[in-house]
Amino acid sequence: MGVEGGMKCVKYLLFFFNFIFWLCGLALIVLGVLVQVALHKTVVINNVSASSAPIVLIVVGVVVFFIAFFGCCGAWKESYCMVTMFSILLGLIIITEIGAAIAGYVFRGNLTVIVHESLNDMVTKYSNGTDEFQKALDNLQIDLKCCGVINATDWRGNFGSGTNSVPDSCCVNVTAGCGQGAMEDSSKVHQMGCQTVVEELLKKNIMWVIVAALVIAFLQIMGIIFACMLMRGIRSGYEVM
């Protein structure tokens, strides 16, 4: 009766943890979408490791979402096969999450080079870019109140006919033609470059990704432990009430 009661407790603990996993899967999806949107709103990054981390989180979130539901059914029905499959799939998910955390950490270490190259590429291609491309960089400079890569002088030779002109999106008060000949006028144009601001924004988002992946992986390891305990109880022939 003691073993039976213990297995009953494990059953409900596993069901509870799967409900938590279900919420975690939903959280991963939301977090991955938010980070992906932040990446596209701030800067067009061509580095594969940078753009893949949030996509991996979204995919993992969707998979965890459905596996958790599968685990709940297995725990409630006390199905040895379902609980075993749940443990295997959850183990694979943990490996993937740890990989995403490592990729995020590696990307964080190379962030300065990646952001600098991406922003510099956008500035040099701005004049010949499409309206959508120009609008993306304009929105970046307006939202973050920055200009150029390191400072406003990065636009010299990359915009307009005048060497001292910058896009209107660099202006403190954005109006038509406000950037003409105002490159070094701090009262009219933001002098701080976008690299530092973008780095800080991305580091904040990446850190949340790493923390979320590791915390959820820890909770999932606990879930595997409870699943193994329930599998042992079922296999031993004890009926869980």
- Rounded CA-CA distance 107/60 in Å is 19
Task: Looking at 110-193, list the stretches that DSSP marks H as alpha helix, in order from N- to C-terminal side.
Answer: 111-124, 131-144
Nearest to 189 by CA among 144, 146, 137, 136: 146
Per residue in 98-112, pLDDT (tens digit) is 776 677 677 666 777
Of 70, 24, 11, 23, give the one whose Cα is nearest residue 227. 11
* Percent of the chain surpassing pLDDT 70: 81
Residue 16: its pLDDT value, please?
80
Say what the pLDDT of residue 190 is.
92
Pair of tokens at residue 50:
């940078």
Query: Which residue has better confidence, 207 or 184?
Result: 184
Range name among 5-19, 69-83, 114-128, 226-240 with the lowest pLDDT average: 226-240
Delimit the domains of the chain by residue range.
2-112+200-235, 118-195
Contacts of 118 (CB under 8 A, 6+ apart): 43, 44, 45, 46, 47
Confidence at 241, pLDDT banded by 50, 70, 90:
very low
The CATH fold assigned to 118-195 is Cd81 Antigen, Extracellular Domain; Chain: A (1.10.1450)
The tens digit of pLDDT for each residue in 136-181 reads: 889 889 988 999 999 999 998 888 655 788 999 999 999 988 988 8
Residues 26-74 pLDDT 10s = 877 887 777 666 655 554 455 444 555 667 677 777 887 778 777 777 7
The pLDDT assigned to 85 comes to: 81
| Calpha distance 208→139 (Å, rounded) | 24
Say if CB 231 and CB 29 are below 8 A apart.
Answer: no
Check whether 238 has a pLDDT greater than 50.
Answer: no
